[in-house]
Amino acid sequence: MEDFETQMNKWLGKIGGLANLTIEEREEANTAAAEVLKKSIVKATPRDDKRKLGDIKHLADSVVIGNLEGTKSNGDIAVGYATKSSDNVNHARIARFQNDGTAKMPNPKGLHFYDRALADSKEDVFKARNDKLAEIQERKFKE
């Protein structure tokens, strides 16, 4: 039988492993949340079905998930419109004008679809992240 100190050190090592996530585990949890947010943004993005499809993708089809360009991987995952895409269009810039509005738009206050998508999906995003974190912790606990 192990002494009390050895048992406590093993227990603390196991609990510390559950609480301290690696960068890969943080990315895994944040990616699960990002997927939920992406679906919400795509659904909220206004779509004009009368628009003639040419070489430029639709704004709703340019939502991307990943690390921000020029940053170190620290477990964070960004969700938004593509700034560089195969059709050489800065979709994020276009989305900002549509969302926030401009002085020349009939409604200068903007559509605020992106802002509403963030607010409306907040609970679902947290739930997806928490579910993935619980799965990661359960997996680590079994190790």
Coil, strand or helix at 36: helix
Structure tokens, 41: 């943004």
CB atoms inside a 10 Å sphere around CB 45: 22
Q: What is the mean pLDDT of the chain?
A: 85
- pLDDT (0 to 100) of residue 50: 76
Whether residue 134 has pLDDT greater than 70: yes
- pLDDT (0 to 100) of residue 1: 64
> Given pLDDT bands bounded at 50, 70 and 90, which one contains residue 131?
very high
Structure tokens, 8: 């406590």
For residue range 40-94, list pLDDT tens digits in order. Answer: 999 999 987 777 767 788 888 889 998 888 888 888 999 999 888 776 788 888 8
- pLDDT (0 to 100) of residue 88: 79
- pLDDT (0 to 100) of residue 123: 95
- Give the CB-side neighbour count of residue 61, counting CA atoms within 13 A: 11
- pLDDT (0 to 100) of residue 51: 72
Whether residue 16 has pLDDT greater than 70: no
